[in-house]
Amino acid sequence: MSVLIVPFRFFILIIIWSAVYSNSASDSIGGYSLSSMITYFLISSLVFTFIYDTIAEELEKEIKKGNFLVFLLKPFSYVKLGFLKKIANRSFSVIIEVIPILLLFLLFFRKYFVMGEIGFFTISVLFSFVISYFIYLLIGMIAFWLINIRSLAWLMSFGIQLSAGLYVPIDLFPPVIRSFFNFLPFQYITFVPTSIYLGKYSADLSAGFVSSVFFPLLIQIMWIFGLFVLTIIVWNRAKKRFSGVGA
C-alpha cells in the first residue's frame, strides 16, 4: 500500500508548493527554490524514518506491566540494549522503507530532486540517530513517575517533530520561534542533517568556523554528550522509583 501512498503524499505536497511558488513574485521562498523545498521534505522524511524511535513506548509498556523487572535481573544495561535494538531495527528500515521511498520519489518526481552533499550529511544523520535515541529514552523515563505516558509522549513527539523541522523547515518560522528552537536539540535530528545535504553549510573554513559544516556537527556532538550525561543522571534516579508491581 505504501507504493501508492508515498507517491500520492508527495504529489499533494508538490501541488501545494507549486501553487505557492506560482503565486509568489520570487523563485525562492526563505532561500528555498521549489525543487530544494520538495527535496527538503523528501530528505527530512527519510532521515526521520531512519532515526524513528519506539523506545519511549516500549519502556512505558515494560514499566506499566512490571516487566521491566526482567531487565534489572539481566547483566546488561537496558540503555545499551535499547540502543542496539534500535540499530538493528532501523538498519532494516533502510532496506524496507528508506530505499523504496527514495526510489518511488525518483521514479515519479525526479525533476524535483536536488542532488546534495552526501559525506557530511551521513555523519550528521548518524549523530542525529544517537541524539534521537537519548531524547526518546528520556521521554520514556517519565513513565517511572507517571506510569501512563502514551498521550504525553504523542504530544511531546509532535513538539519534537515540529521543532525538528519535519513539517516545515524551521528557518521559515518567525525569528522569535526560531530563536527558541535554537536552544533545543531537536533541530539536530532532521533539520540540520537535511540542511547539510542541501548545502546550506560550507565545507570551506575560509568563511569562518561558525558558518562551516563543522560547526553544526560539533554542536551535535555536544548535544550527544549533554544528553548522555542527562540520561545517566535521570536513569539512576528513575530506576529507584520502579516498584515491579505492574498492572
CB of 229 to other proteins, least distance (A): 28
Rule CB under 8 A: say whether 241 interacts with other proteins: no
For other proteins, the closer of residues 9 and 239 by Cβ is: 9
Q: SS3 breakdown of the chain: % helix, strand, coil, rounded to 5?
A: 75, 0, 25
CB of 206 to other proteins, least distance (A): 31
Rule CB under 8 A: say whether 1 interacts with other proteins: yes
Rule CB under 8 A: say whether 175 interacts with other proteins: no
Which residue from 238, 243, 189 is spatially nearest to 216, judged by alpha carbons? Answer: 189
For 167, the grid coordinates are 513539517
Residues 77-106 that bind other proteins (CB under 8 A): none
Q: What residue type is 35 in one-letter code?
A: S
At 196 the three-state DSSP class reads helix
What 8-state DSSP symbol labels residue 155?
A: H
Among 67, 89, 148, 179, indicate the residue that binds other proteins (CB under 8 A). 148
For other proteins, the closer of residues 81 and 146 by Cβ is: 146
**Length of the chain in terms of residues written:** 247
Which residue from 173, 150, 198, 192 is spatially nearest to 37, judged by alpha carbons? Answer: 198
CB of 74 to other proteins, least distance (A): 30
Rule CB under 8 A: say whether 222 interacts with other proteins: no
Among 102, 172, 221, 234, indicate the residue that binds other proteins (CB under 8 A). 172
12-181-146 Cα angle (round to 5): 95
Question: How many residues at the interface with other proteins, by CB under 8 A?
Answer: 32
Residue 220 contacts residue 136 (beta carbons within 8 Å): no
Give the footprint of other proteins on this chain (CB under 8 A).
1-2, 4-5, 8-9, 12, 15-16, 18-25, 29-30, 148, 150-152, 154-155, 158, 162, 167-168, 172-174
